Amino acid sequence: MSSAEPRTVGPDHLWSVDEHLEDVLTTVRPLEPIELHLLDAQGCLLVDDVTVPVSLPPFDNSSMDGYAVRTADVSGASEEFPAVLDVVGDVAAGSAEPLHVGPGQAARIMTGAPLPPGAEAVVPVEWTDGGLGGGPVGAMRARSLHPEGAGGHVRVYRPVEARAHVRAQGSDVKAGDRVLKAGTVLGPAQIALLAAIGRGTVRVRPRPRVVVLSTGSELVQPGERLGPGRIYDSNSFALTAAARDAGAIAYRVGAVTDDADTLRSTIEDQLVRADLLVTTGGVSVGAYDVVKEALSHVGDADEPGGGVEFRKLAMQPGKPQGFGTVGPEHVPLLALPGNPVSAYVSFELFVRPVIRTLMGLPDVHRPTVRATLAADKALASPKGRRQFLRGTYTDGEVRPVGGAGSHLVAALAQADALIVVPEDVESVEPGAEVEVILLG
């Protein structure tokens, strides 16, 4: 897929996990950036450096509720010998009224309000009588109830140095500073910063829209009656949830019956809202594996770059896999096997990294650790295939849950890790060190 070169591997080539993953990840490109409102950009990757248009704070302002004063007027002030100043008015946060503090004057000022011309510092209200004439107070009286507080006199009991309790213009950031680098993932604090510098929108790589559909005539919607020979569809639910967990906007399409035309038209319908398509089932060697049959003819078959290739991978579970692009827009499609554990493990190994690549994120893979195998007996693994067993990981130890069977959903639901057994290993003894993929 990734190259215009003719393939050097034939249809019977057994792909390694790494070969398949490389082919997939070199084909998929990050989504084009779009401009989003701040809260829609949460979790997304910033594509441009962000510089500051206007310094923060935009003006000198008070860090306390108190009185804006001239320092000379309060030098030497004490509880015994307070400085007594004329209050010329209030400076509230958001206030745009011009107010000047002259010699012997003070302005009552609120946290965040601009330091008025003439004033050099702020005296916290707790160092004053709050205009009440009765010793130090704990708080101002509410303006709405006591409008007279904005006038009269105030006693100040302590001196202040110039600039005390004043946040200088530009002390947070200065106009022209680069405050966020391209490639930053936007969390709450980065969104706070973007809002604080006045950005209502931001250019990011959007979350990919992932369409998940399962295939199989045996599948019944959970909650409905299970007829003979039928099972409940679990893959479309599990992979929709997993796609969201990976950062995608995921759309679950109900299970599609094993009919090539139905599947083809369903996929064609879904293309309009898909940055990535994920199917489960119908990729193996059976006579009803319609995903294979259907997917070579989706969208405009004459377009170069289209088509899905079906492969055998040297892994367990997850041997049969399909990958390619469909439709005129070459939407990537991963066709996963239908056994629930195979589908889930394949999602973790291949689809999650694709979603994160589409988002442009730096770390597309789950973290891995080395751990000691805690097990009652040796684990057997098929020669020549990389095995991914389900396990639970705690403090450097990993314990298998359930067996190797790819239908063991209950054990999967207990697992928080995958134990990796390499291709050349057929048995792992208890106490041995193994590689573990942490799922959570």
Q: Which of residues 345-404 bind a second copy (CB under 8 A)?
A: none
| CA nearest to 123, candidates 133, 137, 134 | 137
Binding mask 4-43 for a second copy (x = CB under 8 A): --------x-------------------------xx--x-
Among 239, 278, 291, 295, the residue binding a second copy under the rule CB under 8 A is 239
Q: Find the helix or strand (DSSP H, E) in which 74 lies.
A: helix 71-74
Among 195, 272, 369, 378, the residue binding a second copy under the rule CB under 8 A is 195
Q: Is 228 in the site for a second copy (CB under 8 A)?
A: yes
Cβ–Cβ contacts within 10 Å for residue 52, how many?
Answer: 21
Q: Is 440 in the site for a second copy (CB under 8 A)?
A: yes
Q: Which is nearer to a second copy, 105 or 234 (CB)?
A: 234
* Binding to a second copy in span 37-66, by CB under 8 A: 38-39, 42, 54, 56-59, 63, 65
Burial of 297 (0-12, 13-18, 19+ CB in 10 A): middle
Q: Is 154 in the site for a second copy (CB under 8 A)?
A: no
Among 5, 32, 96, 395, the residue binding a second copy under the rule CB under 8 A is 96
Binding mask 258-297 for a second copy (x = CB under 8 A): x-x-----------------------xxxxxxx-xx----
Q: Please report, for residues 33, 170, 196, 198, 433, the alpha-carbon distance to residue 53 in angstroms, rounded to integers and kept in the order given.
A: 22, 11, 11, 8, 54
Q: Which amino acid is at 210?
A: V
| Among 71-79, 105-113, 368-376, 429-437, the segment contacting a second copy (CB under 8 A) | 105-113
Which letter, b or e, does each residue of 53-91 get, where b requires 16 or more Cβ atoms within 10 Å of its Cβ? eebbbeebbbebbbbbbbbebbeebeeeebbebebbbbb
Q: Which is nearer to a second copy, 261 or 433 (CB)?
A: 261
Q: How far is the CB of 78 from a second copy (least distance, A)?
A: 22
Among 2, 51, 171, 394, the residue binding a second copy under the rule CB under 8 A is 171
User: Could you tell me the end-to-end alpha-carbon distance of the chain, in angstroms, rounded to an integer?
Assistant: 31
- DSSP-based three-state secondary structure for 240: helix
| CA nearest to 118, candidates 176, 187, 67, 58 | 67
Token digits for 332? Answer: 């990537």
Phi, psi (5° rounding) for residue 325? Answer: -130, 150
Among 82, 114, 306, 353, the residue binding a second copy under the rule CB under 8 A is 114
Q: Is 134 in the site for a second copy (CB under 8 A)?
A: no
Q: Which is nearer to a second copy, 171 or 394 (CB)?
A: 171
Q: How far is the CB of 328 from a second copy (least distance, A)?
A: 26
How many residues touch a second copy (CB under 8 A)? 113
